[in-house]
Amino acid sequence: MMCNILNCIDADAEYICDKLVEYNLGQVPKTQRLDFININKKIVDENNEIIAGCLAKMYCWNVIYIDILWVDEKYRKCGLGTRLLNEIEKNALEENCSLIHLDTFDFQAKDFYTKHGYKVFGVLEDCPANHCRYYLKKKLK
């Protein structure tokens, strides 16, 4: 068989993702209406400037993946990250989710997440060099 490896355009990437989701759902049926539901939150200041935000996605089996939780450096240690995390967890419970997972680096927020009940279930060393990437989860029920 003659095959070529080519760069993908966005539509190709979407097709590839759709095919993997199709296969996955053939193995384990989804437990939510839509395959993916974005759960994105932001906090704005009095000037309507974004000072913190969280980008998360509930996927296929009522599981939430937190992709990004960010707080502007000027506002760290003020409870904004906790407020965002609590809001995501509240939404998770409303959607009957029992699990949230995420990843963070050793120079980011591992201690923040463990303080909020998240447990490390994996570590990727030297990613980037001389640092670790931590994979964390939290059971909600």
For 54-92, write each residue's pLDDT tens digit.
999 999 999 999 999 999 999 999 999 999 999 999 999
| Tokens matching residue 49 | 């400037």
Which residues fall within 8 angstroms of residue 70, CB to CB, at 6 or more apart? 52, 53, 54
Cβ pair 67, 40 in contact under 8 A = no
Residue 141, pLDDT score: 78
pLDDT in tens, 1-46: 899 999 999 999 999 999 999 999 999 999 999 999 999 999 999 9
Q: Is this model's pTM higher than 0.85 or not?
A: yes
Structural domains present in the chain = 31-139 (3.40.630.30)
> Given the structure tokens 């997972």, which residue do they identify?
101
Torsion angle of C-alpha atoms 28, 24, 120, 74, degrees rounded to 10: -120
pLDDT in tens, 97-116: 999 999 999 999 999 999 99
